[in-house]
């Protein structure tokens, strides 16, 4: 009987575990045992953390118990992964060591706050629940006439549309509250979300301009000076009363501590083939943000889900046979906030056989008020499936 380990209970780990069960059920294959290891008690939906910060939803509504997967025949262990021994096919955790025949790595990314002077000393974010709760409290203290700065320290960053969402939403948020605030967006890109194409970039720029948001493109971030509330850029400075910061992505410690898990061109990521597995250890598959940039993709949940499905299709094919090689889903759709409204875009991810990598071709679908509620409904519905499983 084959042993499959899934490391991480976020989007990639959750989708991977369910996809293994679905695909093996379709082909009537059951000669395996499936275990998911997650350090926390819950599966979270990170896009809802911004809603927590704004007071649109509560912390309890951003999560579901990951143990609910056990009703689907998936063993769930609450433990923290410390390292992976690729040569001996074993995973060391805080409590034990686990052997595997197949491994799915989905450990997300860590945050490199200390990579820049002062960045760890001031500012708020909502990229985890704790941060969202703190930001919620900070937003309540904003006074009329305050300067709010949204800072993108480096590229790439998690959720490529977030800083533009945050800037427009906060502008409308305080306008509705009768407060005048000045919002500045510091962006290392030449235009908003430029990798997503001109149609989306032009739409986001127009949204920023309509709200008179001070947009600083092509910025080169140097440091934060908390004592003077200053963002230092190459050639200029930005003053702020409230700093909202996007985390610099870093390889999770457990992977950085594991031989063979660092991508040589850039140690922030893991090595990965277009089929989603390790180039030297074919039984090791990836389903997380730490493997997206080497594939030519941005850091977003829709791409994590697509990678997870491709990786698991190839894993099950290798384990049970009878399936052709699978690549990433060709089309993914994203819904975002535009102030008090919403918008949608879609991305194609064609595979280039010559370059052996994917590319992104994204298109703007339109702005419409229901998109805001569609986004909220989708993420809450995702979590409701866990509750139903219980």
Is residue 331 pLDDT above 90, yes or no? no
Confidence of residue 387 (pLDDT cuts 50, 70, 90): low
Query: In the prediction, which pLDDT does 171 show?
Result: 97
**Burial classification of residue 85, based on how many CB atoms lie within 10 Å of its CB (0-12 exposed, 13-18 middle, 19 or more buried):** middle
Q: Are 168 and 203 in contact (CB under 8 A)?
A: no
Mean pLDDT computed over every residue of the chain: 94
Query: In the prediction, which pLDDT does 53 show?
Result: 97
> Nearest CA to 286 among 312, 320, 321, 249?
312
Q: Are 280 and 295 in contact (CB under 8 A)?
A: no
What confidence tens digit (pLDDT) does each residue in 113-135 have?
999 999 999 999 999 999 999 99
Query: In the prediction, which pLDDT does 385 show?
Result: 76
What confidence tens digit (pLDDT) does each residue in 214-244 have?
999 999 999 999 999 999 999 999 999 999 9
Query: In the prediction, which pLDDT does 278 show?
Result: 98
For helices 11-26 and 301-320, angle between their N-to-C axes, nearest 10 degrees: 40
Query: In the prediction, which pLDDT does 114 show?
Result: 96
Query: In the prediction, which pLDDT does 380 show?
Result: 87
What confidence tens digit (pLDDT) does each residue in 145-202 have?
999 999 999 999 999 999 999 999 999 999 999 999 999 999 999 999 999 999 999 9
What confidence tens digit (pLDDT) does each residue in 353-383 have?
888 889 889 999 999 888 888 888 888 888 8
Number of H helices, E strands in the chain: 8, 24
Is residue 390 pLDDT above 70, yes or no? no
Query: In the prediction, which pLDDT does 308 show?
Result: 96
- Which tokens sit at 82? 């410390």
Query: In the prediction, which pLDDT does 330 show?
Result: 72
What confidence tens digit (pLDDT) does each residue in 33-76 have?
999 999 999 999 999 999 999 999 999 999 999 999 999 999 99
Confidence of residue 5 (pLDDT cuts 50, 70, 90): very high
Query: In the prediction, which pLDDT does 159 show?
Result: 92
Is residue 252 pLDDT above 60, yes or no? yes
Query: In the prediction, which pLDDT does 388 show?
Result: 55
Query: In the prediction, which pLDDT does 352 show?
Result: 84
What confidence tens digit (pLDDT) does each residue in 18-34 have?
999 999 999 999 999 99
Evaluated on CA atoms 172, 177, 181, 183, the torsion sign reads negative
**Close Cβ partners of 122 (under 8 Å, ≥ 6 residues apart):** 224, 226, 229, 243
Threshold 0.85, pTM exceeds: yes
């Amino acid at each position: 009987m084959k042993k499959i380990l899934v490391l991480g209970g976020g989007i990639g780990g959750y989708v991977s575990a369910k996809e293994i069960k679905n695909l093996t059920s379709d082909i009537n294959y059951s000669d395996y045992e499936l275990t998911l290891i997650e350090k926390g008690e819950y599966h979270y939906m990170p896009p809802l953390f911004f809603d927590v910060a704004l007071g649109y939803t509560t912390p309890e509504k951003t999560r579901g118990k990951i143990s609910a997967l056990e009703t689907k025949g998936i063993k769930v262990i609450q433990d923290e992964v410390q390292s992976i021994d690729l040569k001996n096919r074993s995973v060391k955790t805080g409590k034990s060591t686990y052997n595997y025949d197949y491994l799915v790595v989905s450990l997300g990314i860590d945050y490199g706050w200390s990579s820049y002077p002062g960045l760890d000393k001031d500012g708020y974010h909502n990229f985890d629940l704790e941060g969202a709760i703190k930001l919620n409290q900070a937003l309540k203290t904003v006074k009329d006439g305050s300067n709010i700065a949204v800072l993108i320290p480096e590229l790439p960053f998690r959720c490529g549309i977030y800083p533009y969402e945050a800037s427009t939403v906060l502008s409308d948020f305080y306008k509705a509250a009768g407060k005048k605030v000045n919002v500045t967006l510091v962006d290392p890109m030449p235009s908003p979300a430029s990798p997503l194409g001109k149609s989306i970039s032009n739409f986001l720029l127009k949204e920023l301009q309509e709200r008179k948001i001070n947009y600083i493109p092509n910025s080169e971030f140097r440091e934060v000076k908390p004592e003077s509330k200053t963002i230092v850029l190459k050639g200029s400075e930005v003053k702020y009363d409230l700093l909202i910061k996007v985390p610099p992505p870093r390889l999770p410690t457990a992977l950085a501590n594991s031989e063979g898990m660092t991508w040589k061109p850039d140690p922030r990521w893991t090595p990965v083939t277009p089929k989603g597995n390790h180039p030297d250890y074919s039984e090791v598959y990836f389903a997380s943000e730490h493997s997206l940039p080497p594939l030519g993709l941005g850091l977003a949940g829709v791409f994590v889900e697509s990678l997870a499905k491709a990786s698991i299709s190839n894993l099950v094919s290798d384990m049970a046979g009878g399936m052709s090689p699978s690549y990433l889903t060709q089309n993914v759709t994203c819904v975002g906030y535009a102030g008090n409204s919403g918008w949608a875009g879609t991305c194609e991810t064609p595979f280039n056989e010559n370059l052996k990598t994917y590319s992104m071709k994204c298109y703007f679908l339109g702005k419409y008020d229901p998109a805001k509620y569609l986004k909220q409904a989708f993420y809450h519905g995702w979590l409701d499936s866990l509750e139903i499983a219980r």
